[in-house]
């Protein structure tokens, strides 16, 4: 039986570079999934801090709340942070296409500083329309952007993840000692790539590279660009230790223009609710 393409999972990452949560349904806004990447961790002077430089960030989980976010970390009590009200953006942030964000307050700063083992601040983007999708990343006039790096919404497919894991396993077998018992590594989790929407069903690996867009229920998404992958994907989410995969294997099979590619960035054309199980139609 052929499995019709469908939404197999949805993910929201409220704070840039922290762990996120799986959700059964989400509302897509013009700047992406509601609640996704509206918060960010910065150094005291406003420099952007990401898990690329500080893997410990992936040990902290953020869950979207109505009007705020809940932070949790091992050994600490959860902290609920409300969106700042009646406060003008007051933190100069070293991020392209955004000058100022709004500080979340000393309680959030202290909690995160303890969790990360260094002094940091938590800031909030009041209005994503203050950021725009760059034309070099497939942006058009009016495309708004959260605190995501380059695009509002990241889409991946189970077929591409399965192909990548097969390549990783093959590489491990090639490198194994022929006199011993080869060990096949555990499959890499999709969460390493931090997608918002994962498509399952009968698809060819990496066919998403050729999509012009997607239709999910009443929501239409426009293809913006393929997603080039960085070292953040190499961090083991259990140990927080940096590894060589998947970049090593992607560089072998998916290297082009000096970059490695997995997943596609998309821009919402229309808004609305999407849910796990919704049928997905690829636009050509």
pLDDT in tens, 267-279: 999 999 999 999 9
Return d(Cα 231, Cα 253) in angstroms, integer.
17
Residue 155 CA to chain centroid, in angstroms?
A: 9
CB atoms < 10 A from the CB of 114, how many? 13
pLDDT of residue 203: 98
Structure tokens at 165: 């894991």
Question: How much is the pLDDT for 177?
Answer: 63
Q: What is the pLDDT of residues 135-159, one digit of tens each?
A: 999 999 999 999 999 999 999 999 9
- In the structure, what pLDDT confidence band is assigned to residue 47 with cuts at 50, 70 and 90? very high
Contact 145, 128 (CB under 8 A): yes
Instruction: Mention every residue, 6+ apart, whose C-beta is less than 8 A from residue 273.
Output: 25, 26, 27, 28, 217, 218, 219
* pLDDT tens, residue by residue, 217-227: 889 999 999 99
Return d(Cα 165, Cα 185) in angstroms, integer. 9
- Predicted confidence band of residue 1 (pLDDT cuts 50, 70, 90): low
Average pLDDT for 184-207: 96
114-120: long-range contacts, CB 8 A cutoff, minimum separation 24:
114/76, 115/56, 115/59, 115/60, 115/71, 115/73, 115/76, 116/41, 116/54, 116/56, 116/57, 116/60, 117/56, 118/54, 119/43, 119/44, 120/41, 120/42, 120/43, 120/44, 120/49
Nearest to 41 by CA among 97, 99, 88, 111: 111
To the nearest 10°, the Cα dihedral for 95, 97, 102, 103?
0
Confidence label for 98 from pLDDT (cuts 50, 70 and 90): confident
Confidence of residue 97 (pLDDT cuts 50, 70, 90): confident
Which residue from 211, 235, 231, 225 is spatially nearest to 257, judged by alpha carbons? 225
Burial of residue 21, with CB atoms counted within 10 A of its CB: 0-12 exposed, 13-18 middle, 19 or more buried: middle
Indicate if the pLDDT at residue 185 is higher than 60: yes
Give the pLDDT score at 183: 73
Q: What is the pTM of this model?
A: 0.95
Q: For all residues of the chain together, what is the average pLDDT?
A: 95
Q: What is the mean pLDDT of residues 51-57?
A: 96
The DSSP output letter for 279 is: B
Residue 174 confidence (pLDDT) above 90: no
| Whether residue 2 has pLDDT greater than 70 | no
Rounded to 5 degrees, what angle do the CA atoms 56, 66, 23 make?
65
CA–CA gap between residue 169 and residue 184 (Å, rounded): 6
Residue 228's beta-bridge partner residues? 261
Average pLDDT over every residue of 111-123: 98
């Amino acid at each position: 039986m052929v499995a019709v393409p469908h939404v197999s999972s949805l993910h929201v990452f409220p704070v840039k570079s922290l762990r996120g949560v799986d959700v059964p349904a989400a509302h897509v806004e013009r700047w992406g999934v509601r609640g996704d990447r509206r918060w960010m961790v910065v150094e005291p002077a406003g420099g952007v801090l990401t898990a690329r430089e500080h893997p410990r960030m992936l040990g902290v989980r953020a869950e979207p709340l109505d009007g705020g976010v809940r932070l949790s970390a091992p050994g600490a009590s959860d902290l609920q942070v409300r969106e700042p009200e009646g406060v003008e953006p007051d933190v100069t942030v070293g991020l392209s296409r955004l000058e100022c964000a709004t500080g979340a307050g000393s309680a959030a700063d202290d909690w995160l500083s303890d969790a990360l083992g260094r002094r940091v601040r938590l800031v909030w983007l009041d209005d994503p329309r203050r950021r725009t999708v760059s034309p070099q990343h497939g942006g058009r006039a009016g495309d708004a952007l959260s605190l995501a790096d380059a695009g509002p919404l990241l889409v991946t497919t189970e077929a591409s993840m399965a192909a990548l894991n097969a390549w990783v396993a093959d590489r491990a077998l090639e490198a194994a000692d022929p006199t011993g018992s080869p060990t096949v590594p555990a499959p890499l989790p999709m969460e390493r790539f931090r997608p918002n929407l994962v498509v399952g069903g009968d698809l060819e690996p990496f066919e998403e590279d050729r999509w012009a867009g997607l239709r999910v229920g009443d929501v239409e998404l426009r293809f913006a660009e393929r997603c080039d992958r960085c070292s953040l994907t190499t961090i083991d989410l259990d140990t927080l230790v940096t590894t060589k995969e998947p970049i090593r294997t992607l560089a072998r099979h998916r290297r082009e223009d000096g970059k490695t590619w997995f997943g596609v960035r998309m821009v919402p054309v229309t808004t609305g609710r999407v849910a796990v199980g919704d049928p997905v139609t690829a636009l050509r």
